[in-house]
Amino acid sequence: MRLIDSLKLMLGAAPTRPAVRSAAALEMEEKKREVKGPERARQIKAAHAEGHSNKWRNIRWATLIGINLLFVLSYRFDVQLIEGALTASRVIGFHMADLNSALQVTLAFKKILVNLVIGTTTVLILWWLVGGRTFCSWVCPYHLLAELAEKLHLALAKRRLVVDYTLHRGTRTVLYVVFALLAFVSGYTVFEAISPTGILSRALIYGPGLALVWVGGLLVYEVIFIRRMWCRYICPIGMTYGFVGAVSPVRVLYNMENCLNEGDCRKVCLVPHVLECTKKTYAEDVNVAIGADCTRCGLCVDACPTGSLKFDIKGLHRLL
Torsion over CA: 265, 266, 271, 274 (sign): positive
Residue 72 has pLDDT above 80, yes or no: yes
pLDDT in tens, 149-207: 999 999 999 999 998 899 999 999 999 999 999 999 999 999 999 999 999 999 999 99
Q: What count of other Cβ atoms lies within 10 Å of the Cβ of residue 271? A: 23
pLDDT of 183 reads 95
Residue 94 has pLDDT above 80, yes or no: no
Tell me how far CA of residue 219 lies from CA of 136, 222, 269, 294, in angstroms.
16, 5, 19, 22
Residue 215 has pLDDT above 80, yes or no: yes
Say how many Å lie between the first and final Cα of the chain, rounded: 20
Tell me the mean pLDDT in the region 91-108: 85
